Amino acid sequence: MCTAATYQTRDFYFGRNLDYECSYGEQVVVVPRNFPFALRHGGELARHYAMIGMAHVAGGYPLFYDAVNEKGLCIAGLNFVGNAVYGKPQAGCENIAVFELIPWLLGRCANIAQARAALESLHLTDTPFSPQFPTAQLHWLLAARDGCLTVEATADGLHVYDNPAGVLTNNPPFPMQLFALNNYMQLTPLPPENRFGLPLGQYSRGMGALGLPGDLSSQSRFVRVAFTRQNSRSGEGEEESVSQFFHILGAVEQQNGCCVLEDGSCEHTIYTSCCNADRGIYYYTTYGNRRITAVRLHGENLDGGELKAYPLRLAQSVFYENES
């Protein structure tokens, strides 16, 4: 499945692990302001904020997994299988197909306040992109400097939750994920206090976090990444901040072979992303290439009308210190 998180030092950062058993040929895609997004239920986003993110491009259309716009609003869609429920188009609503949600929000909203207002009239539909790309069951982490939200469409309607943890994984629904943190409130990065009434001592560093989950289930990943994010420390500079963000998501990355599915395939972390939302820089690593690659939103002509796609660098890049 997946994990998404936020992080702030001098700048605001957002990113995710995409955990799955296979790749769909995703690329880093820049969408300029004049790329036309035709909406399935009427209308068009003819001019909008520019955005950059990870997407599969199908028929010239970017199917985004996660993205950030030029104003610093970020969003990631994560699997929410068994709980996501979408409807048919309804009169009097802003009918948006699930695959349109990311460009619809990023194209028109500059911050969380605007996104929250836009979501009030939203009706998510189950309209598929194509027969080859059926509607995915997702929920979303939406964040910027002014806040963080989780958006879920379930059997009882669309829910927009404030997300004080700044992280999201998959199932169960977000209120249950957040409530589960109550079971771990005693965890600390500090040495534990002996309250046993016996002459006991620490035999290892890190014992303040005894009980922190380490398995790959979505609830455990939520707790682990929330603890890691909450206690992370780094400098304010770009390289230090980006490095620390990759370490935060590294706490819950999945290694090939540790999560075997019924068909024998293995879920693993296909890529990890980190967006500097303030500067419009999209960083990523892949399972096979640990070297960080970056694409700059503002390095492109943002007043153009055509997509710019960068294939992922999948082969491991190694620096040999003494190669002749």
* Residue range 75-92, pLDDT digits in tens: 999 999 999 999 999 988
User: Of residues 2, 74, 148, 275, which has the active-site annotation?
Assistant: 2
The mean per-residue pLDDT over the stretch 214-229 comes to: 97
Angstrom CA distances, 324 to 238, 291, 321, stand at 32, 22, 9
Question: Rounded to an integer, what is the distance from CA 307 to the centroid of its chain?
Answer: 22
pLDDT in tens, 115-151: 999 999 999 999 999 988 999 999 999 999 999 999 9
The mean per-residue pLDDT over the stretch 183-192 comes to: 95
Whether residue 234 has pLDDT greater than 90: yes
Look at residues 272, 280, 292 and name the one whose alpha carbon lies nearest to residue 51. 280
Tokens of 295: 């694409």
Three-class SS of residue 255? Answer: coil
DSSP-assigned states of every residue in 30-75: EE-TT--EE-TTS-EE-S---EEEEEEEETTEEEEEEEEETTS-EE
Q: pLDDT class for 42, splitting at 50, 70, 90?
A: confident
Three-class SS of residue 104? Answer: helix
Q: Which residue reads 């404030």 in tokens? A: 162
Supply the pTM of this predicted model: 0.95
Whether residue 204 has pLDDT greater than 80: yes
pLDDT for 315: 93
pLDDT for 323: 78
Is residue 70 within 8 A of residue 31, CB to CB? The reply is: no
> Domain 2-192+205-311 falls in which CATH fold?
Penicillin V Acylase; Chain A (3.60.60)
pLDDT in tens, 44-64: 888 999 999 999 999 999 999
Angstrom CA distances, 40 to 34, 95, 96, 278, stand at 18, 9, 7, 31
pLDDT for 242: 98
Written as one letter, the residue type at 29 is V
Active site annotation includes 274: no
Q: Please give the share of the chain, as a percent, with pLDDT higher than 90.
A: 92
Its sign, for the CA torsion 39, 45, 49, 53, is positive
Q: Over the chain, what is the mean pLDDT? A: 95
Task: Give me the phi and psi of 67, to 5 degrees please.
Answer: -165, 165
Return the axis-axis angle of helices 112-119 and 101-108, rounded to nearest 10°: 130
pLDDT for 321: 92
Whether residue 34 has pLDDT greater than 80: yes
The mean per-residue pLDDT over the stretch 307-314 comes to: 96
pLDDT for 6: 98
Q: pLDDT class for 10, splitting at 50, 70, 90?
A: very high
pLDDT for 46: 83
pLDDT in tens, 235-291: 999 999 999 999 999 999 999 999 999 999 999 999 999 999 999 999 999 999 999
Residues 6+ apart with CB under 8 A from 234: 9, 240, 241, 243, 244
Look at residues 285, 298, 280, 250 and name the one whose alpha carbon lies nearest to residue 144. 280
Q: Compute the distance between CA of residue 166 and CA of residue 177 in angstroms, rounded to an integer.
A: 12
Look at residues 34, 7, 64, 9 and name the one whose alpha carbon lies nearest to residue 248. 7
The mean per-residue pLDDT over the stretch 219-231 comes to: 98
pLDDT for 73: 98
Q: Cα Rg for the chain, rounded, in angstroms?
A: 20
pLDDT in tens, 144-166: 999 999 999 999 999 999 999 99
pLDDT for 93: 85
Whether residue 206 has pLDDT greater than 90: yes
Check residue 130 and report its DSSP letter: B
Tokens of 68: 């950030």
Domain boundaries, the chain: 2-192+205-311
The mean per-residue pLDDT over the stretch 1-28 comes to: 95
